[in-house]
Amino acid sequence: MFSSWGLREGLLHAGLDPATRSQDPLLAGVAAFAEVFGVSAATALKLAGWTAPANPPNGTGSEALRLASTMLALASQASEPNLRADEAVTWALRKRWIGISATERAIMAAAVLGNTGRKDLPSVLARLAPEALLREAFAWGLALRLCRRLTSLLDAVLAGTALSVADGDLRLTLDGGLAVLFTDPIERDLKALAEWLGLTPVVDRNGALP
């Protein structure tokens, strides 16, 4: 009798080339899954960089986990809207990811929920992870929601906009003509993220990007 995650997988892993063996198993698995839904790891990395200022400087979440959550949340956009939140949470909690703990699964679930705009975190998450970690992850999702709705994942808009935190403000900078993209839904997304982080939302429509 063999464990489904035991000796055979170890032998296969030992036969892989060094570059493949060095990959983070969670990131590799989520990237392969997200690619089926048209989400590239390169795009997710750009968005993770854009949203990084919303990650508290003293945060305890892992950057690898934040990137994995970003890929999973982007993949969930291919789901039917009314089912998107529940399906994304199921992916985070129940799919056979490798190299992830139950606490980290709950963190990913909170992040993908933030991306949907829902704020009712399932009670099961509180049994798996501390509230501080769940709140931090939910902010990842809120920031991603703001980013993707503002930029439509376009490189030119990603480059011409920026999020920053300073002196108690959450500042969204829009370069030149991109100010026209600051619509009511984007204003609501910025306000929701700022309130979640305990910051004041500020919009700079003409400021120079950092």
- What does the pLDDT profile of the chain (210 residues) look like in tens digits? 556 666 667 777 788 888 888 889 999 999 999 999 999 999 999 999 999 999 876 676 789 999 999 999 999 999 999 999 999 999 999 999 988 999 999 999 999 999 998 878 899 999 999 999 999 999 999 999 999 999 999 999 999 999 999 999 999 999 988 999 999 999 999 999 999 999 999 999 876 555
Is 11 inside a domain boundary? no
Q: Which domain holds residue 102?
A: 24-204
Among residues 29, 103, 96, which one has the least CA distance to residue 67?
Answer: 29
In a domain, 9, yes or no: no
The answer to whether residue 10 sits within a structural domain is: no
pLDDT (0 to 100) of residue 1? 53
Residue 200 lies in a domain: yes
User: Which CATH number do you get for residue 106?
Assistant: 1.10.3210.10
Query: In sequence order, what DSSP letters do the residues of 134-172 get, joined into one string?
Result: HHHHHHHHHHHHHHHHHHTT-HHHHHTEEEEEETTEEEE
Query: How many other CB atoms are there within 10 angstroms of residue 153's CB atom?
Result: 16
pLDDT at 20: 82
What is the tally of structural domains in the chain? 1
CA angle 10, 14, 15 (to 5 degrees): 120
Instruction: Please check whether residue 12 lies inside any domain of the structure.
Output: no
Distance of CA 190 to the CA centre of its chain: 16
CB atoms within 10 A of CB 65: 23
Amino acid at the residue 71 = M
Amino acid letter, 161: T
4: in domain? no
pLDDT of residue 6: 64
* Residues 141 and 116 sit within 8 Å (Cβ to Cβ): yes
The whole-model pTM stands at: 0.90
CB-based contact 170:191 (threshold 8 Å): no
